[in-house]
Amino acid sequence: MMKKTALVTGANKGIGFGIAKHLGLSGWQVIVGARNEERAQQAINQLKALGIDVLGWVNIELTDLVGIESAAQAIAEQYPELSLLVNNAGIPGDMSVASGDTSLSDIKATIDVNFIGTFALTKGLLPLLAKNKGRIVNVTVPSDISPYWHPLAYVASKAAQNAMMGVMAMEFQQDGTPVEIFSVHPGPTTTDLNGNMALPGFHDIETVGQKMAALINDGQNHQGEFIELYPIVKEN
């Protein structure tokens, strides 16, 4: 049986590394998407030490639209069996400021990466994923505004990404495109993105990576779903 192949963006650290690791341990071949060769290579060495079948790495800089286009072409040529794209890479934006104090440049930079870059990569790989009856999984946060945590640049960029997922899922169903797309909110996780914050209720990369891989491997159709690995419990 041919092994299944997954590309995970931002797989050199954090949640992306956890997802790549647990997909790999469950039998997937993994392609590491990263912005930096040295960090990609470190991740590859760690994954290979665990016996994971890493096919290589692809330079994906989500602010470089021309680079994304050529990366998508290179992936189609080198890894024609790709059937899973995990859109995990993203930037936090400035999470320390109130919405009225958020700079326009920060809003733009965050949306450029988290929405426009992610959309460009998804669009570039769509023909290949359709050919392989593949799936797209986005790592995101809810569009509903949480009273506890609501950095505007980040939340807005992810809300746009969630809209992309919803629209694509609906169109795939309407026009019979054999691609499944869904979004996953890992819940509060201790990573570099939030300065390694570790409050009560936070989970670690290992746990989240394991749960994400289990979800991807569950054999269910999740077209258009927004899945929370750890739903936030609303206080009464």
Q: For 98-114, what is each residue's pLDDT tens digit? A: 999 999 999 999 999 99
Q: For 41-97, what is each residue's pLDDT tens digit? A: 999 999 999 999 999 999 999 999 999 999 999 999 999 999 999 999 999 999 999
Other Cβ atoms within 10 Å of 37 Cβ, number: 11
Q: In angstroms, rounded to a whole number, what is the distance separating the alpha carbons of residues 10 and 233?
A: 28
- Give mean pLDDT, residues 14-43: 97
φ, ψ at 87 (rounded to 5°): -85, 90
Q: For 160-188, what is each residue's pLDDT tens digit? A: 999 999 999 999 999 999 999 999 998 77
Q: Which of 49, 1, 58, 4 is nearest to 26 (CA)?
A: 4
Q: In angstroms, rounded to a whole number, what is the distance separating the alpha carbons of residues 183 and 185?
A: 7
Confidence of residue 12 (pLDDT cuts 50, 70, 90): very high
Share of the chain above pLDDT 90, in %: 85
What are the Cα distances from residue 42, in Å, to 39, 57, 66, 167?
5, 11, 26, 37
pTM for the whole structure = 0.94
User: What is the DSSP code string of the chain?
Assistant: -PPPEEEEETTTSHHHHHHHHHHHHTT-EEEEEES-HHHHHHHHHHHHHTT--EEEEEE--TT-HHHHHHHHHHHHHH-TTEEEEEE-------TTS-GGG--HHHHHHHHIIIIIIHHHHHHHHHHHHHHTT-EEEEE---SSPPSS---HHHHHHHHHHHHHHHHHHHHHHHHT-S-EEEEEE--SB-SGGGTS---TT-B-HHHHHHHHHHHHTS----TT-EEESSPPPPP-
**Looking up tokens 């997909």, which residue turns up?**
23
- Give mean pLDDT, residues 9-37: 97
Q: For 204-226, what is each residue's pLDDT tens digit? A: 888 899 999 999 999 999 999 99
Q: Which of 29, 79, 74 is nearest to 54 (CA)?
A: 29
pLDDT (0 to 100) of residue 236: 44
pLDDT (0 to 100) of residue 199: 63
